[in-house]
Chains A and B, each alone.
Chain A
Amino acid sequence: MNMAVEEAIPRVVGEGKSPSTVRFWHNSNTIVIGCFQSARLEVNMEACKETETEIVRRFTGGGAVYHDSGNLNYAISLRKGHPLVPGLNLQSVFEKLSEGSVQGLRKLGVKAQFQPVNDIQVDGKKVSGAAGSIRWNTIFHHGCILVGSDLSILGKVLNVPRAKLEDRHVASVQKRVTTVRDELGRDVSTREVRDAIVSGIESCYGVRVKSGDLTKEELGLAEELYQTKYSRLEWNLEP
């Protein structure tokens, strides 16, 4: 259902029926693959079964990410033409809309830096990955911040091809990533990170974030998308 909501919001924002929106959410034990990825190639199905990890596909490109309760996901939807992102160049959209999260993490004490194409890194290790799209009259950007994730499961459930790791001189995906908890050397809640990101967004973009619930329109569309797309094996696992 989370992926269905993830698509419903930008669609409704693009129609002008919802304001610019930032969404924060959690998933439990889920691999989320990019829309162009092959589940069979990218995911260790056996390990997913053993660890009771679900596999879902999102509507944006990019790579596979592992979600658990130690992750914080955020998603920004702006109507096309929004002054924050005047151009329609995807790289500049990623950089601009990652700024809020970078600032938020820095406020917490994490030495975060945007790294093209779509990462936020700390000393060369990834602490957040993002993806996005320009469609439905919307500029959409979403990301996943590793707050206190279980990196050992990440290593088991993802099949990372050698070609992906070789130029980083690392033998495993775990060595390429870090968490906010590890960077700060203390326990930190996703709520604390969320509040920091909100603060980062507000100061970076000169906006005020007001909390709210999903509208009836967004919920209705999400339900429909769940039934027709996101609950289906054809969408999530094939090819």
Chain B
Amino acid sequence: MSTAKLEKLKSADYKAPGGKLVRIRLKEDQGQIRSVKITGDFFLIPEESLGKLEKMLEDVPLREPELRLLVDRFFRGTGAQGLGVSSDDFVKAILSAKETV
């Protein structure tokens, strides 16, 4: 018996009010983020923390309350400092991701 993968590929190019672009490429499966790649021209220190955020987002429901909680926890826990982007921008960028053909 074979099962078809129901993963959806979604993407967004979100311009933060701070002026920087947050580009999202994610795989969604049954309403959850399976994997996400965040790129863009923003600043984030320490730079290594972006990979931690991507890892933390795996298996998180693609819903605003859960995303906000997770991203806030990321910033509080790592002490990361964004410039041109905020916690809110990462959440909005992810939520704005639409299915790619």
Mark A residues whose CB is within 8 Å of B: 34-38, 41, 59-64, 88-91, 94, 117-118, 131-135, 161-164, 166-167, 239
Contacts and interface: CB of A to CB of B under 8 A. Distances in A.
Interface size class of B (residues with CB under 8 A): 20 to 34
B26 interface: no
A41 B83 CA distance: 21
B91 interface: no
Interface in B24-83: 37-47, 50, 81, 83
Contacts, number: 75
27 contacts: A35-B47, A36-B39, A36-B41, A36-B42, A36-B44, A36-B50, A38-B37, A41-B39, A62-B43, A63-B21, A64-B41, A88-B81, A90-B43, A90-B83, A94-B83, A117-B20, A118-B43, A132-B43, A161-B21, A161-B23, A162-B13, A163-B13, A164-B13, A164-B15, A164-B21, A167-B15, A239-B37
Interface of B: 13-15, 18-21, 23, 37-47, 50, 81, 83-84
Interface of A is mostly: loop
Contacts of A41: 23, 39
Contacts of B19: 117
A135 B44 CA distance: 12
A161 B24 CA distance: 13
Given A41-B23, A133-B45, 15 more contacts: A36-B40, A37-B41, A38-B23, A41-B39, A59-B47, A60-B43, A61-B45, A61-B47, A62-B41, A89-B81, A117-B20, A117-B83, A164-B21, A166-B15, A239-B39
